[in-house]
Chain A
Amino acid sequence: MTSSPETENHGANGGIQSGRYYGQGIPYLPLDSYPGKLIAIEGTDGVGRSTQIQLLREWLEVKGYGVIETGWTRSELMQPTIELAKSSNTLNKLTFVLLYATDFADRLEKEIIPALKAGFVVLSDRYIFTALARAGVRGTDRAWLRSLYGFAIAPHLVFYLNVDVKTLIGRVLESRGMDYWESGMDMKHGDDIYDSFRAYQNKLLREYSSMADEFHFSVVDARRSVDHIQDELRKQVSAFLEPAEKQPEPALMR
């Protein structure tokens, strides 16, 4: 399956406005101006997203910002169903995509939008790009996927933690090992989990990279140390938040 020119309506031509819906959105939840900010941290499994989010959260809270974290497949409504589906073998790629989209819709309406309206900085551990990448490498129509997620809000900032497969393999093996889904074993590259992991993550990384321009990713080199990466994130977040918030006395905040 290939993408049709409609894909371009969702951003390749510069149609994305951060903080607004990508597509038609949710008609009964119009987004007028709201004080909150949505920051997404994207990247493949084991790249260090949660560590960075933790540090970012600390720092933001010390600076006086209210922070709310949200993650992928964490909604109250869908988590049991998704876990059930993952553990049994009844899930095909289409229902997988739709279950994730349902989960996301639930969190968007019940967590993200209310938090943004209340003025929080919402840190999203993964965002729709993970869903787009995973489904994209599994052959789901890309234009359809973009239309499906037309109800999502374009984050104010998207950090993409970029890493090469070799580095990734080292990190994953050092920490917790390779798991079935992260290795794309469902794609039946073969029985060898190492080969499967490498082939799958390679495809996934290519898919993420191909979205960088389309969705205005800030690409961060995630091969560097945790502190280096965090510094870069903070620099960009400051530059974005502070003019917007007119921080009175930055010196006192230290």
Chain B
Amino acid sequence: MLNNLTKTHEYPGKLFVVEGIDGSGKSTQLGLLAKWLTAEGHRVFVTEWNSSALVKAATKSGKKKNALTPMTFSLLHATDFADRLLYKIIPPLKAGMIVLADRYAYTAFARDATRGVDRQWVRDLYSFGVKPDLGLYFRVPIEVSLDRLMARRVKLKFYEAGMDLGWSANPVESFRLFQGKVLEEYDRLVDEFGLEVIDARTSITEQQRLVRKVIAQHVQTSGVETIDDELA
């Protein structure tokens, strides 16, 4: 069996991933991290979950008709991941670049298990992946993430709220139930895959400081911030 996802990679580049439920603020943090690394003179490539052109069509039409089952949902996301891994993630890693991934295989582990797919099967499915140099998990209570999402958008998306599972006809209630389970799955993953936990309730600046501090241990930086930090 393949074990790439748990075996340190040998590419000259670095792979950092952010994880967390919707509304955890991980994408904001990833954006700020990309800004900083670029300013530090690194070549950075950002890739998002479920964004490959090939699979987008099927996911979209499937989502529209609510035709996806937990298994096909899982396999489509794995297909998207495989496509991006081979075309978007590995080449920059080979070129010595920094790849930042907004969500990674752990998202699948958390969501698919919540949808009732076998945990070990999903882990085996993604075993062709590349092990990140660092995985940051932005942990946030449901109510905080819900407040953030509600402040930004009117409507919760069907699959994000786990509406496909039919646990509740009310989107907010469904989100609470579904993402609550997803959080439990994430907690299992922290130890299993050695994710770095960031308290996502704190201020954006505070979290970013912490993020840069841990990332600085993996890449060359001018180090102003981290040196200050260590002297303090």
Residues of A within 8 A of B (CB): 1, 4, 6, 23-28, 76-78, 80-81, 84-85, 90-92, 94-95, 98-99, 101-102, 105-106, 108-110, 141, 143-144, 147-148, 150-151
Contacts and interface: CB of A to CB of B under 8 A. Distances in A.
Nearest to A106: B72
Contacts, number: 96
B54 A77 contact: no
A41 to B, nearest CB: 24
A24 B121 CA distance: 7
22 contacts: A4-B1, A6-B1, A25-B118, A26-B118, A27-B118, A77-B61, A80-B61, A84-B57, A90-B54, A90-B83, A91-B54, A94-B86, A95-B54, A98-B79, A98-B82, A102-B72, A109-B71, A144-B1, A144-B2, A144-B127, A148-B124, A148-B125
A97 to B, nearest CB: 8
Contacts of A95: 54, 79, 82-83, 86
A150 B75 CA distance: 13
Given A143-B2, A150-B118, 20 more contacts: A24-B118, A27-B118, A28-B115, A77-B61, A77-B68, A77-B72, A80-B57, A80-B61, A92-B82, A92-B83, A95-B54, A95-B86, A98-B75, A99-B79, A102-B58, A102-B72, A105-B71, A106-B69, A143-B1, A147-B1
Query: How many residues of B sit at the interface, in one of the four size bands?
Result: 20 to 34
B69 A102 contact: no
A80 B58 contact: yes
B interface, over-half SS: helix
B41 interface: no
Contacts of B53: 90
Interface in B99-131: 115-118, 120-121, 124-125, 127-128
B54 A85 contact: yes
Contacts of B69: 105-106, 109-110
A27 B117 contact: yes
Nearest to A4: B1
Interface in B28-52: none
Contacts of B61: 77, 80
B76 interface: yes
A81 B60 CA distance: 11
B71 A144 contact: no
B67 interface: yes
Interface centre among A24, A80, A84, A110 (most CB of B within 10 A): A24
Nearest to B76: A102
A98 B78 contact: yes
Nearest to A1: B2
Given A81-B55, A85-B54, A91-B54, A105 B75 contact: yes
A81 B79 CA distance: 12
Contacts of B127: 144
A1 B75 CA distance: 23
Contacts of B58: 77-78, 80-81, 102
A215 to B, nearest CB: 19
B70 interface: yes
Contacts of A94: 82, 86, 128
Contact of A24 (B54, B79, B120, B128): B120
A92 B54 CA distance: 11
